Amino acid sequence: MGDTDPLGETDPRRPAGWFRRAAARIRSALGGDRAQRSSAWLRRAASRIRDALTDDRLLVLLLLADLVTVLGASAIWLALGGDATTVGVTAGALLAFAAAMLPLIRRSDADGNRPLWPPFVLVVIPLAVLIVGLPALGAWAYLDSRAVDVKHRVTLAPEGPLKNGDRVNARVRADEPRPRLSITFAVTEHDPAAPVCVPSSELTVTLDAGSGKPQEQTGAADTGFTFDLGQGLTDVRLTIRLRAEQGCELDLSVASAQLDD
């Protein structure tokens, strides 16, 4: 590498010994040949970019691409619930770093050689953002499309055996609001020695929506009920009314509850 440093190819004013030693250690750790091949490949790529950037219009386009990529990724990150400060600082740092490359790109050494790495950095920034951002976006989309199991977040009150006409209030607290709730209740005999009651029993489940018309559904004890929640509802409240034959005492619990799209 001669007297090169990470930013200028041949700058005798900068101490290059530490860099050479560090690079040698990395080469040694990675396996000398492979590191050398990688280094040569990077240098060739950086050279091509440097040679292509003789035209200022291309440099402007590259800066524009950096700007669009960084700001676009930041906007998506923010829209998906990213912390505004973290997003702002990250985007600002990347853009400031790209801006800091400009004077270095313009500078030439005594032999008229332009620096190798600064133009390369302008390409690496949007690529890095895309390489990190796209898989992250894909992972988020996958996780977001999955149903959220909220079975253990459903509270029923009051507890205890239910008779015909009794009502139970169910509350579902959701950290990740979704537009649809699918819930199935388990109804079991309170006294297994008593005559069987479950097959003849029915539940009427009402979604107590904050605004709009309450949704009401009736079905057998093992029916799956599905309600449209709208957007952003994190505190879902249901009223369950039991219809059972005379003398029946039944226990109510939640068999499954999912929030999904």
Partner 1 sequence: MTAITYSPRRPRFRRPSTHRSARAVAVALLLTVTACGEPGDRTRLDGTVHIGGKIDQPGFALHSEHTDRGFEVDLAAYLGEQIGFKSKFHDVVSAKRERTLIEGESELVIATYSITPERDETVDFVGPYFVTRQGFLVAEDYQGIKGTKDVAGKSLCTVEGSTSENVALPPKTTLHMETDYSTCVRKVQQGDVDAVFTDEALLYGYVEQHKNSKAPLKVVPDVSYGSFNRYGIGLQEGWQGDCKKLRNALRTYLTEEWARDVKAQLPALVDAYPGTWENRFRPDPQDLNKYSSCEE
Per CB under 8 A, residues contacting partner 1 are: 188-189, 191-200, 245-248
- Give every CB contact of residue 38 below 8 A, 6+ residues apart in sequence: 30
- CB closer to partner 1, 199 vs 212: 199
- CB closer to partner 1, 16 vs 221: 221
- CB closer to partner 1, 184 vs 258: 184
- CB closer to partner 1, 161 vs 230: 161
Q: Helix, strand, or coil here: 202?
A: strand
Round to whole Å and give the CA distance between 203 and 241.
6
- CB closer to partner 1, 165 vs 199: 199
Q: Shortest Cβ distance from residue 193 to partner 1 (Å)?
A: 5
Q: Shortest Cβ distance from residue 187 to partner 1 (Å)?
A: 12
Q: Rounded to 5 degrees, what angle do the CA atoms 97, 100, 105 make? A: 120
- CB closer to partner 1, 11 vs 189: 189
Q: Shortest Cβ distance from residue 219 to partner 1 (Å)?
A: 14
Q: Shortest Cβ distance from residue 248 to partner 1 (Å)?
A: 5
Round to whole Å and give the CA distance between 140 and 118.
33
Instruction: Identify whether the C-beta of residue 164 lies closer than 8 Å to the C-beta of residue 219.
Output: no
Tokens linked to 171:
């509350």
Q: Shortest Cβ distance from residue 201 to partner 1 (Å)?
A: 11
Tokens linked to 59:
């440099």
Q: Helix, strand, or coil here: 167?
A: strand
Written as one string, the DSSP assignment of 85-102 is HHHHHHHHHHHHHHHHHH
Q: Shortest Cβ distance from residue 159 to partner 1 (Å)?
A: 19
- CB closer to partner 1, 181 vs 197: 197
Instruction: Name the phi and psi angles at 212, rounded to 5.
Output: 90, 180
Dihedral of the alpha carbons of 51, 56, 57, 63, in degrees to the nearest 10: 90
Q: Shortest Cβ distance from residue 121 to partner 1 (Å)?
A: 58
